[in-house]
Structure 1
């Protein structure tokens, strides 16, 4: 049994572990599997960071907007020894919140260990904690990653290319743009799908004003430890935005500077065949 990563939203946590099991596993009674795989302790999930980190040393309001992907914020004259911050605010469509570990604090600027996942407006709530509870308590907050238990199908290979060429159609070649026979060159079939996957991975969320939720968070994750399951979660979330993609499994990511090498098994609604990406390179 392996686990697919899923980043918890405020709504996931508020609905509870049984509703989450119904959503992720199709059966509310499988909530015990989520608990077992993730080694959770009661109450399993919470929107109250105090239940995980203890009482906050300070609760403040942001004095300016904090964009998604931020790695630091100005925070003068706060207690030393801050290990974790918890941000929460009402977003465009729902409440958003997350906890972020602190790398350092010099009395003026707080440097974060990983970039923030969400954008927070001026006035958003900011809680500071001076200790991280790493004992037997394992309770998840919004923004944390939960692993979804799935059965491993072993090695998967790609086949059925003739069927998929007709399925995915053609489009203008965009990586890189080129010309053929006096017109723009085109891609067909699987190349069309791979071009769309490349586009969604390399497009930052919120960078398209008319489609702010389309894209990935991978570009804002550079600097985060490469063994973090968030990389895999971000990749899977981005690929599932494509309407032809039904599932993404067996993902792995290697990062060198601004270059990301991706391997994944991608399933589509149009075929029973699996498309295997192996060491596909992206610049982010």
Structure 2
């Protein structure tokens, strides 16, 4: 199938490669053309200098960019180059309102749309093991899922357009609270002077176990954060969740508090650190 992939960041770069390895005809676009040229040199496929030319004749266009403004701008350009009957899939984490706006513009051109934010981080993208939560019609979802399967271990159709993004907000709310609890646990155990390797062996086999514990405990204990999902992006996602909470009359006191803790991590120079760097704030405040 002729596909286009727009946005070759830490997630999009390996996701697009999975599509090419599956035998699809893939054309990529990235705002930094050097990144697109590097991708083509490593993987094959083709690149174009703008979204319009990159999406011409594509059956499905997939995008993974930065925020609402980026998504609207890239989608508007891409849709102008797409043919009626094609499908636009947005993997960017955005507001539900952004997804609804792109869907409206796509519908005006007879193009389908699925909002499909992902969870699993860079490792999930590289290993083809992402969890994807989708909003859109049954038909559009089925078409998208057949392609997204190449880089996903789980794909769930949540509901109509926008519901994928609302589900992603739920995902980020869960992670924020969990990481704060995990940070306090690691901080406490370290201060108490107990063997943290043995602590992990004990608690990871019980009710406290989680993906974050399995994948971040050791690096949190060592104070290593130069990898993973950046604090800047987490704050963007939590702002979306808090804004959506206001729209729907939901109360998120812990999420709001953790968002402010992340602001402190940013002030301490951790804008690009992994989200597990919450623990650094506790260690700094206790030093």
- TM-score, reference length from structure 2: 0.23
Higher-RCO chain (CA-CA 8 Å, sequence separation at least 6): 1
- TM-score, reference length from structure 1: 0.23
Higher strand share: 1
Higher helix share: 2
